[in-house]
Structure 1
Amino acid sequence: MLALFYIFIGVAIGVSFWQVTRILNFRSSIANDKDNKTQGKNALYFMVFLYVMMVYCLIAMNVIMLPESASYEGEHDDNLFSITFWLIGVVQFIMQFLIFFFTYKYKGSKDRKAKFYADSHKLEFIWTVTPAIVLVVLIGYGLWQWNNVMDLSGEDDPIVIEVYSQQFRWDARYAGEDNTLGLGNVNYIKGINTMGVDMSDKNAQDDVQVTELYLPKGRKIHFKFRSQDVLHSAYMPHFRAQMNCVPGMVTEFGFTPKYTTEEMRQQPEVIEKTLGINKVRRAKGEDPYIFDYLLLCNKICGASHYNMQMKITVVEPDEYEKWIAEQPTLASVVK
C-alpha cells in the first residue's frame, strides 16, 4: 500500500511538471473552439470522477468513524455534526455540479460573447444573509450544548471524580461518601501520594485513588481535571468529551454514561470495526483487539504522548457500588 502511495505521488509530480510546461507554451498560442470543447468535456469527466470518489469515501470509510455516542450529552454533539455534515454535503454536491457543468456549457466559442454584470444587490443579499442565518443557528446550538456539558450546578448527587495528568500517565480520585474531594496541590506529592492530596483536609480521608475508571451507567459524572507538569487534554472520544488539563488550575465537565462496556461491544458499528482491526492484527501476528472505552491525551505533551491512556469501564449501578466499596480509602493507604 505504501509503495502504491509513492507511485501515485511520483505520477502526480510528473503530471504537474507536464502541465507547467504546457502552460508556458500557451503564451505563444491561442485556444480555439476545439481546445475549449475538449477542456469542457474534461471538466465533466472530472466532475463524475469527483462524485464517485466522494460517494466511495462516504460508504467505504464510514467504518473508521466513531460509533454512536456512549453518553446522553454526546447525542447533541452527534446531532450537531450530522446537521453540519449534511448542510455542507448538500451545498458541496450542488456547487460542484454547477462549477463543472457551467464550465462545459459556457465554454469559449467564437460565435458567443461573454456578458458582464457589474453587480446584483439581490444575489449579494442572498449569499450574505443565508450563510449568516445558518451560522447563527449552528453556533447557537453549539453554545447551548457547551453550557449543557459545563453547567453542573443543578445536578442531583453526581459522582465527583478528579482526573490527574502527568507525563505520561493518568490517575483518578473518587470523592468518598461525603462526595467532596479533598484539596490537592503538587507541593503535597510525596511517596505514594502521587496526586498531591492534602491529607490534613478532612474531606480527603475517604477519597479513593485508582488507575482505572469505573463508571455507573445512567449516573451523572462530574469530572475535575488537574495537571502536574505541562498542558494535557483529557479526551474521551466515545463520550464526546474533551477538556484541557492546565497546571495550576482545575477544569471540569460532566456527562452521563448511556451504555455499559459490554453493551457497547455489541453495537453493530463496534463489531464491524473490531473485525477490521483484528484482520490487520491477525496478519501481523498480534493479539486480538477487544473494545474498551479509553481516556486519551489529545495534546502532544512529550515523547510518550501516544501511550498516555487510561481504561474506562462502564458497568451497571449495582456492580459499580460493589466495586467502589472494595476500594481502599486514601486515609488507609497514605500514612
Structure 2
Amino acid sequence: MTSLLVCIVLVLIGVAVWQLTKIFQLTQVGEVSDDSEVANDKDNNINGYIMFGFLGFIYIFTIYSLIAWGEFVLGTPASEHGVEVDSLMNISMLLIFFVQTVTQFLLHYFAFKYKGKEGQKALYFADSNKLEVIWTIIPVIVLSVLILYGLYTWNQIMYFEDEEDVMYVELYAKQFGWEARYAGDDNTLGKANVRYIEGINTLGLDVEDPNSQDDIVVQELHLPKGKKVVFKFRSQDVLHSAYMPHFRAQMNCVPGMVTEFNFTPTVTTAEMRKDEGIIYKVKKINKIRAEKSVKLIAEGKEALDPYTFDYLLLCNKICGRSHYNMQMKIVVDTPEDFKIWLSDKTTFGKVWKDANTSEIEKVKEVATAIAQVVK
C-alpha cells in the first residue's frame, strides 16, 4: 500500500512539473508559438468532462471514507461536556460536508459550462454588491453561531463556581510518563517546584508546606463518577499535552507554569466496557492480536495477551523518542469504590517521613560499623 501511494505521488509530481514547463513556455514573450499546442474545442470538451469526472471521484471517495473509516470515530462520550463537544463537532462536520458538496459542484459545473469555444470571448463582469453581501453575511452568521456555541462549551470545561463541590488532582508530565497527585483531606494541593525534586519526591513537593503533607501521589489515575474534577497540569521538561480522548479533554502541560481544566466523569470503566461500540472495537482488536499471535508463536515468541478496554491519558505532543508510549491508565469508579481505593493510599507526608527515618537508620548503622572498626 505504501509503495502504491509513493508511486501515485511521484506520478502526480511528474504531471505537475510537466504542466509548469508548459506554463513557463506560454509566458515567454516573443517566442514562436506552435499552433499544435493551442487548445481547440475538442480539447476543451475533454477537459470539461474530466472536471466532472474528478467531481465524481471527490464524492465517491468521500462516501467511501465515511464507510471505511467511520468506525474510528470515538463513540460514547464519558464526560458531561463531551456531549456538547460531540454535538459541536457533528454540526461543524455537517456544515463542512454541505458547503463542500455545493461549492465543489458549482466549481466543476462552471468549469464545464463556461469552457472555451472557438470565436467566443469571455464576459468581463466587474462585481455585484448583492452577491458580495450574500456570501459575506451568511458565513459571518454561521461562524458567529459556531464560535458562540464553542465558547459556551469551552467555558463549561474551564470555569466553575468556587462554592462547587470539586476534587483537585494534579497531573505531572515528564519524559516519558505521568504521575498524579490528589489533594488530601484539606482538598488543597500543596506547593511544588522542580527545584525540590529529590529522591522519592519525584514531583518536587514543598515538604515544608502543610498542604503537601496529606497529598497522595499515585501512578494510576482513578476518578469518581459524577464528581467534578479540577485538573492542574505541570511539566518537568518539555511541552506535553494531556489528552483524554473518551472524556473529550485536552490541555497543554507547559514547563514553568500551571494550566488547568475540569470535567465530570459520567461513565464508569465497567459501564464503558459494556458499550456496544467498545465491544465491537475490542473484538476487532483482539482478532488482529490473535492473527499476530499465530505468527509470533510460529517464530517461537510469546503470544499477545487479549486486549481489555481502559481509559487512557496520552501525550498529544511529539515530546521525544518515547512519546508514543507516554500514557497512564484511567479508571472511573463508582463514588464508593473510589473512596475504598483512595483510603488504601499513603500520604506524601508519611512516605517522606518513613524514607527519611530509613535514611537516618542507615546512617546510624554505618556510624556504628565504623565505630566498631576503629575500636
> Is the pair's TM-score, using the shorter chain for normalization, greater than 0.5?
yes
Match of 1:308 among 322, 326, 329: 326
2:333 and 2:343 mapped to 1: Cα distance? 14
Structure 2 matches for 1:240-319, cutoff 5 A?
Answer: 240-285=248-293, 286-319=304-337
Which residue of structure 1 lines up, in the alignment, with residue 301 of structure 2?
none
Which residue of structure 1 lines up, in the alignment, with residue 87 of structure 2?
79
Number of residue pairs aligned between Structure 1 and Structure 2: 335
Which residue of structure 2 lines up, in the alignment, with residue 12 of structure 1?
12
Which residue of structure 1 lines up, in the alignment, with residue 246 of structure 2?
238
1:88 and 1:16 mapped to 2: Cα distance? 28
For structure 1, the 5+ residue unaligned runs are none
1:147 and 1:87 mapped to 2: Cα distance? 23
CA drift of 1:22 comes to 6.8
Of 65-74 and 23-32, the range deviating more from structure 2: 23-32
Q: Is residue 137 from structure 1 mapped to residue 155 from structure 2 by the alignment? A: no
Structure 2 matches for 1:37-116, cutoff 5 A?
Answer: 37-110=45-118, 112-116=120-124
1:75 and 1:155 mapped to 2: Cα distance? 24
Which residue of structure 1 lines up, in the alignment, with residue 215 of structure 2?
207
Q: Is residue 321 from structure 1 mapped to residue 329 from structure 2 by the alignment? A: no
Q: Is the 8 A contact 1:231 1:244 kept in 2?
A: yes
For structure 2, the 5+ residue unaligned runs are 27-32, 294-303, 354-375
Change (3 A) 1:21 1:277: farther
2:21 and 2:305 mapped to 1: Cα distance? 52
Q: Is residue 333 from structure 1 mapped to residue 341 from structure 2 by the alignment? A: no
Match of 2:204 among 196, 199, 205: 196
Of 135-144 and 210-219, the range deviating more from structure 2: 135-144
1:47 and 1:229 mapped to 2: Cα distance? 49
1:116-172 deviation line (CA, Å, top 9, x unaligned): 211100011111111112222212222222222111234522111111111211111
2:163 and 2:144 mapped to 1: Cα distance? 29
2:211 and 2:316 mapped to 1: Cα distance? 31
Which residue of structure 2 lines up, in the alignment, with residue 152 of structure 1?
160
2:131 and 2:232 mapped to 1: Cα distance? 50
Which residue of structure 2 lines up, in the alignment, with residue 3 of structure 1?
3
Change (3 A) 1:154 1:83: farther
1:229 and 1:34 mapped to 2: Cα distance? 64
Give the SS at the match of 1:73: helix
Percent identical among aligned pairs is: 55
2:256 and 2:3 mapped to 1: Cα distance? 48
Match of 2:233 among 211, 219, 225: 225
Which residue of structure 2 lines up, in the alignment, with residue 122 of structure 1?
130
CA drift of 1:258 comes to 1.4
Give the SS at the match of 2:280: helix
Change (3 A) 1:137 1:200: same
Which residue of structure 2 lines up, in the alignment, with residue 165 of structure 1?
173
2:17 and 2:255 mapped to 1: Cα distance? 51
Give the SS at the match of 1:312: strand
| Structure whose alpha-carbon radius of gyration is higher | 2
CA drift of 1:210 comes to 0.3
CA drift of 1:10 comes to 4.2
1:218-273 deviation line (CA, Å, top 9, x unaligned): 11111111122222211111111111222222211100111111222222332333
1:323 and 1:247 mapped to 2: Cα distance? 31
CA drift of 1:30 comes to 2.0
**What root-mean-square deviation, in Å, do the aligned CA atoms of Structure 1 and Structure 2 show?**
2.1
1:58 and 1:274 mapped to 2: Cα distance? 20
Q: Is the 8 A contact 1:205 1:330 kept in 2?
A: yes
1:233 and 1:283 mapped to 2: Cα distance? 33
Match of 1:179 among 172, 178, 187: 187
1:320 and 1:18 mapped to 2: Cα distance? 66
1:270 and 1:111 mapped to 2: Cα distance? 63
2:93 and 2:204 mapped to 1: Cα distance? 44
When the two structures are superposed, what TM-score results if normalisation uses the length of structure 2?
0.83
Give the SS at the match of 2:200: coil
2:158 and 2:238 mapped to 1: Cα distance? 23
Counterpart of 2:5, as a letter, is F
CA drift of 1:111 comes to 6.2
2:25 and 2:257 mapped to 1: Cα distance? 63
Of 51-60 and 4-13, the range deviating more from structure 2: 4-13
